Amino acid sequence: MPSKREPPRSPARRLHRSCKEVIALLTEFMEGDLSATAARDLERHLDICPPCKGFLDNLKTARAATRKLRVKMPDASLASLRARLAPTRPGKPRRRR
């Protein structure tokens, strides 16, 4: 039975985890939330699956960008927000630390 429809070696198929699963787990993987076994499983998949690896790289980049944003956000905008929200109470001077 000659079946020519066999996909050209898809190494991921031989693993327990499918790309879909891997991608679903990547975030946890990055956070270090996966068990050692699961993480190793994932790494093995990434080793042989460039698309998933690329996806992980994208995630990392996106995450790094998000982090920068978060770090940049705080004080200035918080201060101006507080200034806006702060009720003006005549006679009661605001305490400062």
Q: Which residues bind Zn ion (CB under 5 A)?
A: 12, 19, 49, 52
Minimum CB distance to Zn ion smaller for 10 or for 80: 10
- Residues contacting residue 52 through CB under 8 Å, at least 6 positions apart: 12, 19, 22, 23, 26, 45, 46
Residue 20 main-chain phi, psi, to 5 deg: -60, -45
Q: How far is the CB of 35 from Zn ion (least distance, A)?
A: 19
Minimum CB distance to Zn ion smaller for 51 or for 72: 51
Question: Tokens for 78?
Answer: 């918080």
Minimum CB distance to Zn ion smaller for 4 or for 22: 22
The whole-angstrom separation of Cα 40 and Cα 4 is 34
Minimum CB distance to Zn ion smaller for 41 or for 66: 41
Q: How far is the CB of 64 from Zn ion (least distance, A)?
A: 22
What is the three-class DSSP state of 85?
Answer: helix
Q: How far is the CB of 56 from Zn ion (least distance, A)?
A: 10
Q: How far is the CB of 84 from Zn ion (least distance, A)?
A: 48
